[in-house]
Amino acid sequence: MMRNVDQFNDLNRPMMVAVSRKGFYKQLLGLEKDDRLPMTLITETEMMLKGGRIIRVHDVEETRQMITFLNEIEKGHWLA
């Protein structure tokens, strides 16, 4: 589903994603809940790039930093 989530963009509605600390990180990578932040941020980034605009998270500050950085990259210049 995550690979094709951008197909929902045709609905012209804000898309919510909720991938924070999910159990599939344990199934795929053997990660315990407290060790899943890096994979969560990577997955959230991909979901945002595919059109996700509402993100349900556990790690608010880290996700805010990721979104801020993605927005700066999108602007096309580096922070001073």
Domain spans of the chain, in order of start: 35-75
Give per-residue pLDDT as tens, 13-30: 999 999 998 999 999 999
pLDDT at 80: 61
Contact (Cβ atoms closer than 8 angstroms) between residue 74 and residue 32: no
Instruction: Centre a 10 Å sphere on the Cβ of residue 25 and count the other Cβ atoms it contains.
Output: 21
Phi (first) and psi of residue 17, to 5 degrees: -125, 145
Is pTM, for the whole model, over 0.75?
yes
Alpha-carbon dihedral 75, 42, 22, 64, rounded to 10 degrees:
-40
Cα distance between residue 57 and residue 80, in whole Å: 29
Which candidate, 35, 31, 66, 4, places its Cα nearest to that of 55?
A: 66
